[in-house]
Structure 1
Amino acid sequence: MELIDRMEHIPLPAIILDQKGEILSFNELMESNIEHELSIGTSIKEIFPTWDVKPTSKMILAEDGKKRYVFIRSSTYDDHAHLFVGTETSELSALKNENEDLKRLTRELDAIIENSYDGIYITDHKGVTWKTNSAIERITGIPKEYYIGKNVDALIKRGILKNSVTHRVVKQRRIVSLVQENYEGKETLITGAPVFNEDGEIEKVVTNIRDLSDLNELQTKLSRMNQLNDKYKKELDLLKNRTSRLEGLVIQSEPMKRIYDTAERIAHVNATVLILGETGVGKDILAKHIFKESARSREGEFIKINCGAIPADLLESELFGYEQGAFTGASQKGKPGMFEMADRGVLFLDEIGELPLLLQVKLLRVLQENEIQRIGGTKPRKVDVRIVAATNRDLKEMVEQGEFREDLYYRLNVLPISIPPLKDRRDDILPLIEMFMKQANEKYEMDKRIDSKLKDFFFSYKWPGNIREMSNLIERLVVTTPEDTIQMENLPPEYQETTDITIMPSSILPLKEAAELAEEKVLKLAVEKYKNTYDIAEALETSQPTVVRKLKKYHLRIPRGDVID
Structure 2
Amino acid sequence: MTDAKNFAGPRHIELGVAILKDEGMLEFANPVMRKWLGKWKGQRIQEKLNRLISEEQRLMILSSGKPMEWSIVVDELHLQMHAYPYIHDMSQASIFMVAYNIKPVHLLEAQFQEMKAIADELEAVFQNSYDAIYISDANGITLKTNDAIERLTGIPKEYYIGKDLRYLEKRGIVQKSVTFEVLKEKKPVTVIQENSLGKVILLTGSPIFNEQGEITRIVTNLRDISELNRLREKLLQYHKYHSGDEPIIYASKYMEKVIELASRVAKTDTTVLLLGESGVGKEVIARLIHRNSGRYENGAFIKVNCGAIPQELLESELFGYESGAFTGAKKGGKPGMFELAHEGTLFLDEIGELPLHLQVKLLRVLQEQEFTRVGGVKPMKVNVRIIAATNRNLKKMVADGNFREDLYYRIYVVPIEIPPLRKRKEDIRPLLSFYLDIFNRKYQASKTLKEQTIELLQSYEWPGNVRELANFIERLFVISPTDEMDPEHLQDLLGLTSLFEEHTPYQEKRNEEADTAGLINESDIDLDKVKTLGFQAIIEQMEMEILTAAYKQYGSSYEVGKALQLSQSTAIRKAYKYGIRTKPQEEG
- TM-score range relative to shorter protein: 0.3 to 0.5
Considering only CA atoms, is the larger Rg found in Structure 1 or Structure 2? 1
TM-score (norm: length of structure 2): 0.46
